[in-house]
Amino acid sequence: MNNILFNNLPLLVLNQLLSLFYLITTFLYGAHFFKDSQFAKRYKQPVLVLTVLTHVVYLGLLTSIEGYLINYSTVNLMTMVGLTLTITYLFIEFTTKSDKTGFFVISFAAGAQLISSIMTARISNAGITFSGIGIGVHLIAAIFGFSAIAIAGLYSILYLLLFRQIEQNRFELLFQRLPNLEVLEKLTMHAVALGFLFLSITLFAGMVEQRASGEAIKLLEPKLVTLVVIWLLYGTGIFVKPIIGWDIKHMAYLFIFLFVFVTILIVFMTFFSPTFHGLTF
């Protein structure tokens, strides 16, 4: 069988191990959040760090096939999304000392990694590879941008859930375990600011790379249009709060909408526009 995993035993083992680590990490974070398990509390962070390290090694091995060049394929993008989400969350956990939202972010990352693992085992074509700093920055910034959008969306959902629980006097699990509304608001707004920054870098690096390579990308190319639309919406989102005075509750609805919108667009484009901005190389 002509498949990158089945032709490479260490990669196959690491691929399976990584999925298992993600499931264990999600389980530990879930057990701590929902069951207040002290065992899970003690071991979840070390396991998360181990998962991130394994993921980095896995990506190294995966890209080594093409001479450590970034490969533009759905499976690679999915696994990169998983890694960036986890790294971003780990950064949040270390800096804010708040470990209560991990289950929600890591379960999403685990989902992305599981899909990537399953798809990697089924594909025979590795996809297009790229070299050069410009294109590398463009791709990595795009992936971090999507991760930030996802985190902003997830934290917005948590914000609204906690808001409703307090409003309706339902002082249940989420009330007891989630950080307070102000912290969730800060986490959301930081994720949005980061997302906007990464999307801006994506656009800028893309423009620089296009000029340098001389490749012609159509202005109405779906991925380009989508990226610009998302960038505009996010940029507007950042300035809506101070200028129009929208409260965070309405902002949360906007960010959830953007998250769902971006996710649907990515899925659609994966199936209907699988090329890199219409380029054939």
Partner 1 sequence: MNIISVGVNHKTAPIEIRERISLSEVQNKEFITGLISSGLAHEAMVISTCNRTEVYVVPAMHEVTGEYLKEYLIAFKDARKEVRPEHFFSRFYCGTARHIFEVASAIDSLVLGEGQILGQVKNAYRIAAEAQCAGILITRLCHTAFSVAKRVKTKTKIMEGAVSVSYAAVELAQKIFSNLSMKKVLLVGAGETGELAAKHMFQKNARNIVITNRTLSKAEVLAEELGTNKVLPYESFKEHLHEFDIIITAISTKEYVLSEAEMHQCMIKRRLKPVIILDLGLPRNVDPDIGKLQNMFLKDIDALKHIIDKNLEKRSRELPKVNAIIEEELVGFGQWINTLKVRPTIVDLQSKFIEIKEKELERYRYKVSEEELQRMEHLTDRILKKILHHPIKMLKAPIDTTDSMPSRVDLVRNVFDLEEPNQSR
Question: Which residues are near partner 1 by CB under 8 A?
Answer: 162, 166-167, 169-172, 175-176, 179-183, 186, 245, 247, 249
Residue 150's identity, in one-letter code, is: A
Nearer to partner 1, 41 or 221 (CB): 41
Minimal distance, residue 40 CB to partner 1, in Å: 15
Count Cα neighbours of 12 within 13 Å in the Cβ-side half-sphere. 9
Nearer to partner 1, 177 or 200 (CB): 177
Nearer to partner 1, 114 or 249 (CB): 249
Please name the helix (run of DSSP H) or strand (run of DSSP E) that holds residue 187, with its range, or none.
Answer: helix 181-213
Check if the beta carbon of residue 78 is closer than 8 Å to that of residue 113. yes
Minimal distance, residue 241 CB to partner 1, in Å: 10
Minimal distance, residue 88 CB to partner 1, in Å: 20
Nearer to partner 1, 153 or 179 (CB): 179
Nearer to partner 1, 182 or 228 (CB): 182
- Look at residue 8 and give its three-state secondary structure: coil
Query: Smallest Cα–Cα separation from 104: which of 168, 163, 55, 152?
Result: 152
Minimal distance, residue 33 CB to partner 1, in Å: 15
Minimal distance, residue 188 CB to partner 1, in Å: 13
Minimal distance, residue 159 CB to partner 1, in Å: 11
- Look at residue 281 and give its three-state secondary structure: coil
Burial label for 247, CB within 10 Å (0-12, 13-18, 19+), is exposed
Nearer to partner 1, 16 or 180 (CB): 180
Minimal distance, residue 180 CB to partner 1, in Å: 5
Which whole-number Å values give the CA distances from 216 to 148, 200, 207, 221, 281, in the listed order?
Answer: 29, 20, 11, 11, 12
DSSP output for 75-96: HHHHHHHHHHHHHHHHHHHHHH
The residue behind tokens 């999925």 is: 19
Nearer to partner 1, 176 or 275 (CB): 176
Check if the beta carbon of residue 16 is closer than 8 Å to that of residue 6. no
What the block records as the tokens of 189 is 């707004």
What the block records as the tokens of 143 is 């992936």
